[in-house]
A and B are shown apart, each in its own frame.
Chain A
Amino acid sequence: MADNHEHGAVGHIVPIKMLVGICAVLLFLTALTVWVSKLNFDTVNIGEANILIAMGVATVKATLVCLIFMHLKWDRPFISFFFLASVLFVLLFVSFALMDTHANAPAIIPGNSTVIQQKLDALDASAQAAHASGEVSDGQAAHGDHAEDAPAHDAAAH
């Protein structure tokens, strides 16, 4: 490249000081997002703005990594264009998927899927059987150690 700062180098050389500085900024931004996310229940309830702030800060961090650590600032613009195009296509992908899922949202069947419901029913049956047989064990011999921890089931109370 034409803008080499050091004679004879193949690519642009990023000074060490700049790398350390950028890393410090990245760490600061990380601490910032964590702090902002903790605001929710302490002082201010910023609610859904949290995700926007978090993603905004993440985008700034990603841009810094790309520009400095990955040398995009000094590379041919074509490479940046290429990389941004892939991000753009991911955004298109997500946007169209969101449009589709929101258009069909009312048709989504509420509740658990059949397979999961079967699992839950089996767990209930197992707990009831354990109670009915007077054993506090959950029915599996391997779990006999925790017998005293397994809560007893009292169906009559409900």
Chain B
Amino acid sequence: MYGQAKEHDHDHDHPDFLGHHWESPTQQFEAGKFGMWLFLTTEVLLFGGLFCAYTVWRSNHPELFRYGSQFLDTFWGATNTAVLLISSMTMAMAVTYAARGKTKAVIICLLLTLMGAAGFMAIKYVEYNHKFHEGFYPGLAFYEEPNASHLWQPLDETAVAHLAHDKTMDMDESNLLHAEALVRAELPEAPAEAVTWNKAVAGPGPGGLTTSHEQEQLAEFTAFLPEAFLGDNEDIAGELEFADGHAPGEAPHMAHPLQDPVRPVNAQKFFTIYFMMTGLHGIHVVLGGFMIIWLLYRTIRGEFSREYYTPIDLGGLYWHVVDLIWIFLFPLFYLI
């Protein structure tokens, strides 16, 4: 028999953790679990709104996402995915150990999960900080006067204009970005050009740019580009790889999008949806961290047993949904 609860002045006995409207611990557990799943469906619907916005924006303007995505660091995105996946595993382990009544193992697993949450947020902080430092703000703030000008190199816009107008190259807009990267790499000492901010390209492909006498200087450089895209020239292939593997924001010869002749119109929209979706997800990670601390506190107090570990199980479900959402966010933003 379980210890009699003094606050229950009824003529029946039941374990402390069992509400007296339940027949058995299993019934209580199943009901609680269903309630948690109800909440999780509302979480799916909450993020569903943002996923809808993402899909509509990307479907109308794929060039914004192809352009903006290269400013995100795939390495850190993948690392964060691994961190969350592993913390999800340790959370599931905590549930298994809780069901077996192994309190010490539960505490260790919860601590590991908490470290995962903290690690994820630390990496996110570094990423956000980097973006803010370079002026990649969401919405209108994207167009504020830049204050990180020491990071920027003026771009020889005629070089890119030449590439953009070379019809024989038959480049799609993502190739254009790489061609642009090549131009930057080739001409690090580009002359200080006019600071003109109104030069975004509307939609995919070139537009609104003019060629100049500097074409000849670049003619030979651009002549071999099509072969380079086919991978015939090893040197250029290496350069392409460099341009592909490095976020333009990090490479010293890359300019801020505001100074970028091939920046698509409304480039800020990518960063808007990026910060909204990863930000809402980050809030969930932080809340999950507090939840794990609360679970740790109750575990250390010895409130859980083989018969009653519902909070750990349901907290685990929440943590897995956080993981679940990141599983989709990662390819949608980092792997375009």
Do A and B assemble together?
yes
Q: Give the B-binding residues of A (Cβ under 8 A).
A: 1, 6, 8-11, 13-16, 19-20, 22-23, 26-27, 30-31, 33-34, 37-38, 40-43, 50-51, 54-55, 57-58, 61-62, 65-66, 68-70, 75-76, 78-79, 82-83, 85-87, 89-90, 93-94, 97-98, 101-102, 105, 108, 110-113, 115-117, 119-121, 123-124, 126-127, 138-140, 142-143, 146, 149-155, 157-158
- Quick check: B37 and A42 within 8 Å, CB to CB? no
B168 within 8 A of A: no
Contact B143 A30 (CB under 8 A): no
Check B140 against A11 for contact (C-beta < 8 Å): no
Beyond the given pairs A97-B55, A120-B197, 12 more chain A to chain B contacts, judged by CB atoms under 8 angstroms and listed by A's residue number, are: A11-B26, A22-B89, A27-B86, A33-B330, A34-B78, A37-B336, A41-B229, A41-B241, A50-B336, A111-B265, A124-B197, A157-B194
Q: Is B286 an interface residue (CB 8 A)?
A: no
Option from B34, B44, B202, B317 in Cβ contact (under 8 Å) with A70: B317
- The tally of residues in B whose CB lies under 8 Å from a CB in A reads 85
Across the interface, A116 reaches (CB within 8 A) one of B42, B140, B195, B336, namely B140
A83 touches B44 (CB 8 A): yes
A112 touches B200 (CB 8 A): yes
The CA of A139 and the CA of B55, in the complex, are separated in Å by: 40
Interface residues of B in 281-336 (CB under 8 A from A): 306-310, 313, 316-317, 320, 323-324, 327-328, 330-332, 335-336
Give CA–CA (A9, B310) in the complex, Å.
Answer: 12
Least Cβ–Cβ distance between B188 and chain A, in angstroms: 14
Give the docked Cα–Cα distance between A79 and B33 (Å).
Answer: 9
Whether A54 touches B89, Cβ cut-off 8 Å, given contacts A83-B41, A90-B48, is no
A90–B52 CB distance below 8 A: yes
Q: Which residues of B contact A (CB under 8 A)?
A: 25-26, 29-30, 33-34, 37-38, 40-42, 44-45, 48-49, 51-52, 55-56, 59-60, 74, 78, 81-82, 85-86, 88-89, 91-93, 95-96, 99-100, 140, 143-145, 147, 149-150, 152, 154, 174, 178, 192-198, 200, 202-203, 210, 229, 231, 240-241, 244, 258, 265-266, 268, 306-310, 313, 316-317, 320, 323-324, 327-328, 330-332, 335-336
Report the Cα distance A23→B327, complex, angstroms.
13
Contacts of A117 in B (CB 8 A): 198
Quote the shortest CB–CB distance from B312 to chain A (angstroms). Answer: 11
- Whether B194 and A10, one on each chain, are in contact in the complex, defined by CB atoms closer than 8 angstroms, is no
The answer to whether A119 and B59 touch across the interface, beta carbons within 8 angstroms, is no
Residues of chain B lying within 8 A (CB to CB) of residue A93: 48-49, 52
Measured between beta carbons, the chain A residues less than 8 angstroms from B51 are 90, 94
Question: Could you tell me the distance between the alpha carbons of A83 and B40 in the complex, rounded to whole angstroms?
Answer: 8
Closest to B86 in A: A23
Q: Are B74 and A34 in contact (CB under 8 A)?
A: yes
Q: Which of B51, B143, B240, B307 is the most central at the interface, judged by chain A CB atoms within 10 Å of its CB?
A: B143
With A11-B99, A13-B99, A138-B145 as given contacts, are A65 and B320 in contact (CB-CB < 8 Å)? yes
Task: Tell which of B52, B195, B308 touches A151, judged by Cβ atoms closer than 8 Å.
Answer: B195
Q: Which residues from chain A contact B310 at a C-beta distance below 8 Å?
A: 10
Q: Let me know if B140 and A119 touch, CB within 8 A.
A: yes
Chain B, residue nearest A102 (CB): B59
Contact A19 B82 (CB under 8 A): no
Question: Is A41's CB under 8 angstroms from B178's CB?
Answer: yes
Cβ distance B95 to chain A, nearest Cβ, rounded Å: 8
Inside 8 A of A123's CB, which chain B residues have their CB? Answer: 143, 145, 195, 197, 258
Distance A153 CA – B191 CA, assembled complex (angstroms):
11
